[in-house]
């Protein structure tokens, strides 16, 4: 395991920010950590990176106890609220972070990370003159300096335009191919859905849902069917066999229904065509991460 925690708790005075967190992240995963504002995401990341001590519980990162210096040498961290020394050039900043990592300066390494984040031409510009998006990119470059085994990204695209977001998405996917594990905290659910293979949703300091993206989204499927008029008999067979809530065929020849699994789709097609019905369209719509998130967090709010 790259990250493993057991009942991790962080309390500030009388406020419990994070309560009894159990996380397991495997090598090579892109792990999305989601939750509404104030849910405890940044506090969790800070405990995992050794910036904040847990009040109780324990954990390991890269097979070392939380906060271990050896493990931190192979961690990359892009914080949510980045603020860099404006008087430094991008190169200066990389050199500064290189020394914080206790690495030897290496112009080639600097060029590689600058190239990766799309700032190769701007490395000798002052950071104060960078746009917000460029500052976020240089922050990512700093996080990439140690060739991290584990990369923490806290809202990595908050300052980026759509092209910048796509660039970061591609960087994340490339890093995964190279064996890096990524722990991504983001409010942009479509972005998380596009890159993460596992997620955990935290609300009010507690993990309320976790699992593989596939399992979370491949649950129910909404199916829209467009076909020639169907007989009462076939309609009742569909309703009985697949879904008691199937909407009857509308005048435009469509039926909407909810299926338990996508494996039922070919069965429905077979049933319709065997009954002599002409099938024009069969469109499945899976749950989105946003609908799962809203359901899970919404249920918590109303309970
Ligand atoms: N240093 C601190 N002192 C006191 N309370 C804190 C401290 N840091 C965080 N908290 C509280 O802990 C809770 C969790 O905060 P945290 O920053 O981890 O949430 P978050 O999920 O990262 O939120 P956001 O999405 O808004 O960044 C909040 O109620 C916050 O006010």
- Domain stop point among 186, 212, 238: 212
Of residues 44, 35, 45, 77, the one with CA closest to residue 189: 35
For residue 298, being part of any structural domain is answered with: no
Q: Whose CA is nearest to atom 3 of ligand 1?
A: 12
What is the number of structural domains in the chain? Answer: 2
Kindly state whether residues 25 and 174 are assigned to the same domain. Answer: yes
Same structural domain, 21 and 152: yes
Closest approach atom of ligand 1 to CA 12: 4
CATH number at residue 51: 3.40.50.300
Which tens digits make up the pLDDT trace of 217-227?
876 778 888 99
Give yes or no: residues 205 and 229 share one domain: no
Residue 259 structure tokens: 């299926």
Give me the pLDDT at residue 83, please: 86
d(CA 201, CA 188): 13
Residue 122 C-alpha to ligand 1 middle, in angstroms?
34
Quote the pLDDT of residue 209.
Answer: 93
pLDDT at 300: 64
How far, in Å, CA of 152 to CA of 185, rounded? 8
Low-confidence ranges of the chain (pLDDT < 70): 219, 243-246, 248-252, 300-303
Tokens encoding 94: 């990389």
- Work out which ligand 1 atom sits closest to the CA atom of 205: 14
Domain that holds residue 276: 220-286
Q: Residue 131 C-alpha to ligand 1 middle, in angstroms?
A: 27
The distance of Cα 158 from the centroid of its chain, to the nearest Å, equals 14
CA distance 194 to 251: 36
Do 19 and 124 belong to one domain? yes
Asked if 129 and 14 sit in the same domain, the reply is yes
How many angstroms does the Cα of residue 71 sit away from the middle of ligand 1? 25
ipTM for the predicted complex comes to 0.97
Closest CA to 255 of 275, 276, 219, 236: 236
Structural domain contains residue 294: no
37 Cα: distance to centroid of ligand 1 (angstroms): 8
* pLDDT at 130 (0 to 100): 92
């Amino acid at each position: 395991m790259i990250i493993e925690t057991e009942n991790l708790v962080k309390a500030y005075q009388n406020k419990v920010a994070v309560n009894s967190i159990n996380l397991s992240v495997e090598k090579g995963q892109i792990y999305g950590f989601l939750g509404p504002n104030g849910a405890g995401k940044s506090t969790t990341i800070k405990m995992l990176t050794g910036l904040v001590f847990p009040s109780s519980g324990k954990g390991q990162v890269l097979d070392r106890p939380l906060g271990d210096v050896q493990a931190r040498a192979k961690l990359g961290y892009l914080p949510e609220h980045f603020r860099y020394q404006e008087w430094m050039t991008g190169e200066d900043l990389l050199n500064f972070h290189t020394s914080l990592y206790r690495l030897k300066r290496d112009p080639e390494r600097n060029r590689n990370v600058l190239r990766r984040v799309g700032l190769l031409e701007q490395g000798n510009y002052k950071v104060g003159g960078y746009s917000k998006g460029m500052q976020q990119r240089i922050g990512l470059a700093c996080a990439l300096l140690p060739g991290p085994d584990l990369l923490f990204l806290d809202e990595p695209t908050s300052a980026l335009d759509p092209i910048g977001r796509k660039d970061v998405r591609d960087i994340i996917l490339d890093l995964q191919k190279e064996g890096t594990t990524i722990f991504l905290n983001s409010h942009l659910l479509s972005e998380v859905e596009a890159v993460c293979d596992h997620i955990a949703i935290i609300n009010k300091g507690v993990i309320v849902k976790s699992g593989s993206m596939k399992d979370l989204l491949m649950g129910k499927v909404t199916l829209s069917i467009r076909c020639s008029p169907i007989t009462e008999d076939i309609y009742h067979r569909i309703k009985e066999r697949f879904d008691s809530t199937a909407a009857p065929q509308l005048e435009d020849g469509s039926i909407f229904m909810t299926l338990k699994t996508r494996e039922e789709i070919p069965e429905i097609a077979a049933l319709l065509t065997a009954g002599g019905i002409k099938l024009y369209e069969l469109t499945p719509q899976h749950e989105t991460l946003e609908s799962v998130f809203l359901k899970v967090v919404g249920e918590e709010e109303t309970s």
